[in-house]
Amino acid sequence: MSNQLTKNDNILNQFRADCENCFGLCCVALPYAKSADFAIDKDAGTPCQNLQSDYRCSIHKNLRKNGFRGCAVYECFGAGQKVSQVTYSGNDWRNYPELSKEMFEVYPIMQQLQEMLCYLNEALSLEEAQPIYKDLHAALEETEFLTNLSPKSILGLNVPAHRAIVNNLLQQTSELVRAQVSPNKNLKKIRKGSDLIGADLRGADLRGTDLRGVLLIAADLRQADMRMTDLIGADFRDADLSGANLTGSIFLTQAQINSAKGDHNTKLPPSLHTPHHWFKVSK
C-alpha cells in the first residue's frame, strides 16, 4: 500500500507547479483584468510588476493580502516547468528574447495538455474505470506525446479536437464512478454549467451528482455530502465547504479547493491538502 501511495504521489507531483524550475511563465504569458482576483490590469506577454529578476514573486507569501487572490489559486498542472526545462531546454526568455513570444504562446497550450494528463491519470487510478482502461491509456500516451513536440508543432495542434476525445473518456469514467450510488432525485435539474451561484445547499445529499462546470460561487455547501461526485471544472470561488465531505469525489483539483472556504471538518480526497488560508483569521 505504501509503495502505491508513493507512486501516486510521484504522478501527482508531475501536475503541480514547480516554480523553482519555471521562468515565471504564468506571471508573464497570461493576461488578467483588475477585479476581486487581481489588483491591477496586465496584458498577455507583459511581466507582472511583482515578478523579480530570479523569476520569483516578490509578494508570494502575501498574494491574497495584496489583492492577487487569482494568483494564489492558479494551477498550471506542471506546464511551467515542462515548457521551461523540456520544450525550451532551460533557455529562458530574458536571456533569449527571440524565444519569448513563441514561449508565451506555447505555455497556455501546454497548460491544457497537462491538465488533460492530470485527469487521465486520475481516471486510470479508479477501479470503476477498468472497462475503458485501454482507451484511457491510449489517450494518455497520445497526450504525453503531444507535450513533447517541438514548439512550432505544439502551436499547430488542434487542441479542441483532442480535448473532445479526452473529455468523452472522462465523461465515461464519471458515469462508471457515479453509477455506484443513486443521485438525489431532487437534484436532477442540475446540468453542466448550471448557475448555482450563492445557492443554499447546506447539508445537501450530492452523492453521485454530475457537477461538471457548475457555478458554485459563494454557494453554501456546509456539511454537504459530495462523495462520488464529478467536480471537473466546478467553480468553487468563495463557496463554503465547512464540514463538507468530498472524499471519493473525482476530478477535483487543488486550485478549486484553494478558491473555496472550509474548516478542519472538511473532508478532502487524500491527494489534496487543506489550504492554509482556511485557518487564517482576519484582523
**pLDDT tens for each residue of the chain, 283 residues long:** 444 444 455 556 788 889 999 999 999 999 999 998 899 999 999 999 999 999 999 998 889 888 998 898 889 999 999 999 999 999 999 999 999 999 999 999 999 999 999 999 999 999 999 999 999 999 999 999 999 999 999 999 999 999 999 999 999 999 999 998 876 666 656 766 678 999 999 999 999 999 999 999 999 999 999 999 999 999 999 999 999 999 999 999 999 999 999 999 999 999 899 998 888 644 3
Q: Say if CB 48 and CB 28 are below 8 A apart.
A: yes
Q: How far is CA 122 from CA 11, 149, 202, in A?
A: 9, 23, 28
Separation CA 188–CA 229 (nearest Å): 13
Handedness of CA 147, 151, 157, 160 (dihedral sign): positive
Nearest residue to 111 (alpha-carbon basis) of 138, 87, 85, 147: 147
Distance in angstroms (rounded) separating the CA atoms of residues 260 and 219: 10
Instruction: Please state the pTM of the whole predicted model.
Output: 0.89
47 in Cβ contact with 102 (< 8 Å): no
Measured CA to CA, the distance from residue 74 to residue 63 in angstroms comes to: 12
Given phi > 0 = left and psi -120 to 50 = alpha, else beta, which region is 82?
alpha
> Around Cβ 158, how many Cβ atoms within 10 Å?
8
The amino acid that residue 92 corresponds to is D
